[in-house]
Structure 1
Amino acid sequence: MTATLTEPVANAPARSVSVARGYRFELIKLLSQWRVRVLVVACWLAPAVFIAVVSQQASLPVDTLFGRWMHATGWAGPLVLLGFSGSWALPLLTSLVAGDVFASEDRLGTWRHLLVAVRSPRRIFLSKALSSLTVILVLVIGLVVSSTLSGILVVGSRELIGLDGHVLSPGDAAGRVMLAWLCALAPTLALAAIGLLGSVALGRSPMGLLLPAVVALAMQIVQQLPIPVAFRYALPGYAFISWNGLFTAPTQRGPLLIGTAVSLVWAILATGLAYFLFVRRDFTNPVHDGSGRRAVTAGLLPLVVLLLVSTAVLAPIAGVGSGIDQDKVQRSVATSFAHLYRLQTKQLNRAAVTEAQLQSSAECTKGGDQVAAKGPGNDWRCVVTWHLPGVEAAGSAIYQIDINPLGRYVADGDGPKEVNGFFLVRTPSGDEPNPLWQFDGNIELLPAK
């Protein structure tokens, strides 16, 4: 009877472990690593410490977008952190999590044990991909929650000045801040997918771990070069920048939608390539270091083709120039000045005036008469004029403009001193920052409609 009972069990086909069980197992493995635990603690605490420290200092990170408003509103802190995270923190996080999720098995030589336990390379890939994505989302949520709560508690939920000088109510600012971080998830997913691809294709090589950070750094360098707008938009890293358009009126939706769509396409393709390489790899080799030829032909080459195809598709939409011309600069500077002039008028308790009454305009040149008034550079000069009701003479102010290749600019007041010559203005309630002394702006690089 014993033989009769045990024989069917011995001959029963082995079942693959479910994706849910594999996912839990891989998630526990990731969270048990000391470096992942350190990252979780850092992402949930470091932003709060940073904002608390900055709030106690007299100087502000004015060279960072929205940095000059960190003492004025708590909604500036999450945006300052988002700018830093898109350049450095998020690429590093994706490298340490997604870039090592497969390579760690190669270093430890545990692939055969894992295959015996799970019995399905496809489910192993899905479990590892989902667990790494979960950890990355936890890290990003920590950055958002920590920076937002600390900003509100330390500074307060107050109005935020947009990139064209218009005032955002606390509720509107909150919605746009959350949307900006949500849009940043798309390029984060693209870098995570590149990390998965590198971890699969390069095996135990440390380059697989560094690949997302290296790719992100390379894209940052390229974005600072005078490249065509179509090529700039075709890079997935542009979505880390395109959220700037959320803080203008009207919202610059075109770059944001293009950047998000491109990033998601990169994420899907890189993940698909990683899956293709993983299910076809040789798991019997205990010292597998990846196949250099396959990594190039099935990993790198399709991404290069995607970049070229995306550039060709976007060229009719975005154009092949820099996207920065005289008309755009003049219109942006005049609009920002009008909004900020009204803010200064309110500070000084002067009679209220509307943008329509001001009729502000700007005349901008670049490098004098020897250089065409287009393209990025720190040699732009604008003379802004405006009119006040009941005053015949027009007012004028001078600004030195520094525009980077991404369309972001800093306007530095150069007189008259009563308007933009000093950092502070004397108000009935005391000295306050002068909104016209120096301000940030953003030029949409897509052709004007």
Structure 2
Amino acid sequence: MTATTVEDRTSVVGRVSVSRGYRFELVKLVSQWRIRFLVLACWVAPALFVAAVSQQSTLPTDTLFGRWMHATGWAGPLVTLGFAGTWALPLLTSVVAGDVFASEDRLGTWRHLLVAVRSPRRIFVAKSLASLTVILLLVAGLAGSSTVGGVLAVGDQPLVGLDGHLLAPSDAAGKVFLAWACVLAPTLALAGIGLLGSVAFGRSPMGLLLPALVAPAMQLAQMLPLPVSVRLALPGYAFLAWNGLFTSPAQLGPLLIGIVVSLVWAVLATALAYRLFLRRDFTDLSYDGSGRRALTTALLPLTALVALTVTVIAVATPSVGSGIQQEKVQRSVATSFAHLYRLQTEQLGRPAVTEAQLKASAACDKGAGQIAAEGPGNDWRCVVSWHLPGATVTGSAIYQLDVAADGRYVADGDGPKEVNGYFLVRTPIGDAPNPLWQFDGNVELITTPPPKG
């Protein structure tokens, strides 16, 4: 009876709850100087960057929404988001999630931690939750700081959407928040990969570098002329698909697919890391990663996931090939031109006109008509036609298009000079940027043209 009571008390005393372990791991992370530096940088640097760029005469027009940083403060957080998805978020997940387990190997503290907690399962959960908390804090800092910097430096003006339509400040604020929320999914996928690398490679720096290597590889794949099913099957596409929130109607199909794929990657990578961690022999003081077992336990399941996802998307979505077809490009260019023409009309103080009255249309070809009008390339050419009420002559304008593999394009005006030939237009209150001179657009990769007739 007495022996049983002592054993029960020992087991109760030795048990450490997940919440207590989580707080301990969170304090360990935040106490590191590099984590403190990253938190400070994420909460301060974006505001200073956006405010400084917004006051310069030269804007980053090659970046999505960069050309509107003088016009509204809501462009700043979107420019920051584009940079963060390419560079900042992969590096942040590498530093946090990619090192959360490997640091114990380098310091040789696993035995002490296991004696204190007495449960590898609770250790894994506590470390994963602590790293996730820090990553969310860093993402919130990037989003909040860039938004505050943009709004304070430029103001709370309407934002021109990706198809030329005007978003009210409240609508723009909601879309900016949703865009940042959407990139949490691919960030979690990279965090799961970081946890997997940290567990699999031990004290090796490969675990720390794994998310930073996987992210550029996925970005490179998005730049290649791959089939749309392969493009959507990679979690990196969700870093680009938020563009669809800024069209009317919103292009939600690719975005939702990208979010689901990213979350599946996050769950699978974390589950594989959990399995490797539980199977580890902590009594081996010379442990230096899982070696060959990591290849079969981690790499093969992720490769199988890519193959399965490509198959499912190819069967479920209607688009084939690159997803960039002539009718889609023509419809997108005509829609953007009509919206921006109205904006230019308002700038010049001319009588208002609606899209229905303009009846804008576009005729596009690729390679001067010598090749099929489909796929990415910088050799697209579009002639936009429109009609003004009461006018007997149909207006026309020429645009040269550079269409990227992910569907985003830049339309560069090529005349007539009165419409899109100059960067500035003369308005009653002074010179202003000409919205028709150059504009960004987006071709939705998995939509089909509307039925004719």
1:411 maps to which residue?
411
2:10 maps to which residue?
12
Q: Secondary structure of the equivalent of 2:49?
A: helix
2:266 maps to which residue?
267
* Alignment-mate amino acid for residue 91 of structure 2: L
State the aligned residue count: 445
Deviations 1:347-395 (A, max 9, x none): 0000111111111111101001211100000000000111011111101
Q: Distance in 2 between matches of 1:32 and 1:11?
A: 33
Q: Secondary structure of the equivalent of 1:127?
A: helix
1:121 maps to which residue?
120
Query: Would the aligned equivalents of 2:76 and 2:146 in 1 still touch at CA under 8 Å?
Result: yes
1:428 maps to which residue?
428
Q: Distance in 2 between matches of 1:210 and 1:59?
A: 35
Q: Distance in 2 between matches of 1:135 and 1:370?
A: 53
* Alignment-mate amino acid for residue 409 of structure 2: Y
* Alignment-mate amino acid for residue 373 of structure 2: A
Q: Distance in 2 between matches of 1:247 and 1:395?
A: 27
Alignment of 1:76 onto 2:75? yes
TM-score by length of 2: 0.96
* Alignment-mate amino acid for residue 189 of structure 1: L
Q: Distance in 2 between matches of 1:71 and 1:405?
A: 28
Query: Would the aligned equivalents of 1:109 and 1:287 in 2 still touch at CA under 8 Å?
Result: no
Q: Distance in 1 between matches of 2:9 and 2:179?
A: 56
1:443 maps to which residue?
443
2:250 maps to which residue?
251
Measure how far apart 1:289 and its partner are: 1.2
Q: Secondary structure of the equivalent of 1:432?
A: strand
Structure 1: any 5+ residue segments left out of the alignment?
Answer: none
2:172 maps to which residue?
173
Deviations 1:83-111 (A, max 9, x none): 10001000000000000000000111110
Q: Distance in 1 between matches of 2:266 and 2:109?
A: 27
1:324 maps to which residue?
324
The residue correspondences of 1:42-441 to structure 2 (distance < 5 A) are 42-318=41-317, 319-441=319-441
Q: Distance in 1 between matches of 2:10 and 2:375?
A: 71
Q: Secondary structure of the equivalent of 1:147?
A: helix
Deviations 1:90-146 (A, max 9, x none): 000000000000000011111011000000000000000000000000000101110
* Alignment-mate amino acid for residue 185 of structure 1: L
- Using the aligned pairs only, state the percent identity: 72
Measure how far apart 1:214 and its partner are: 0.4
Q: Secondary structure of the equivalent of 2:369?
A: coil
* Alignment-mate amino acid for residue 438 of structure 1: Q
Query: Would the aligned equivalents of 1:73 and 1:151 in 2 still touch at CA under 8 Å?
Result: yes
Query: Would the aligned equivalents of 2:14 and 2:116 in 1 still touch at CA under 8 Å?
Result: no
* Alignment-mate amino acid for residue 447 of structure 2: P
Measure how far apart 1:215 and its partner are: 0.4
Q: Secondary structure of the equivalent of 2:368?
A: coil
CA distance 1:326–1:10, shift in 2 (3 Å): closer
Q: Distance in 2 between matches of 1:8 and 1:30?
A: 36
Q: Distance in 2 between matches of 1:81 and 1:285?
A: 45
Q: Secondary structure of the equivalent of 1:400?
A: strand
1:28 maps to which residue?
27
Q: Distance in 2 between matches of 1:57 and 1:135?
A: 33
* Alignment-mate amino acid for residue 405 of structure 2: P
Measure how far apart 1:11 and its partner are: 7.5
Deviations 1:275-297 (A, max 9, x none): 00001101111231112211111
Q: Secondary structure of the equivalent of 1:368?
A: helix
Measure how far apart 1:153 and its partner are: 0.8
Q: Distance in 2 between matches of 1:11 and 1:441?
A: 67
Query: Would the aligned equivalents of 1:176 and 1:247 in 2 still touch at CA under 8 Å?
Result: yes
Measure how far apart 1:159 and its partner are: 0.4
Q: Secondary structure of the equivalent of 1:365?
A: strand
Q: Distance in 1 between matches of 2:68 and 2:359?
A: 27
Q: Secondary structure of the equivalent of 2:380?
A: strand
Deviations 1:50-74 (A, max 9, x none): 0111122100000000000001000
Q: Distance in 1 between matches of 2:7 and 2:219?
A: 59
Structure 2: any 5+ residue segments left out of the alignment?
Answer: none
TM-score by length of 1: 0.97
CA distance 1:153–1:393, shift in 2 (3 Å): same
1:41 maps to which residue?
40
Measure how far apart 1:16 and its partner are: 1.9
Q: Distance in 1 between matches of 2:8 and 2:403?
A: 73
Query: Would the aligned equivalents of 1:400 and 1:414 in 2 still touch at CA under 8 Å?
Result: yes
Query: Would the aligned equivalents of 1:317 and 1:446 in 2 still touch at CA under 8 Å?
Result: no
Q: Distance in 2 between matches of 1:320 and 1:114?
A: 52
Q: Distance in 2 between matches of 1:96 and 1:328?
A: 41
Q: Distance in 2 between matches of 1:287 and 1:159?
A: 60
Q: Secondary structure of the equivalent of 2:37?
A: helix
Q: Distance in 2 between matches of 1:320 and 1:123?
A: 46
Deviations 1:302-328 (A, max 9, x none): 000000000000002334400001100
Q: Distance in 2 between matches of 1:390 and 1:157?
A: 37
* Alignment-mate amino acid for residue 265 of structure 1: V
4+ aligned runs moved over 6 Å, structure 1: none
Query: Would the aligned equivalents of 1:106 and 1:286 in 2 still touch at CA under 8 Å?
Result: no
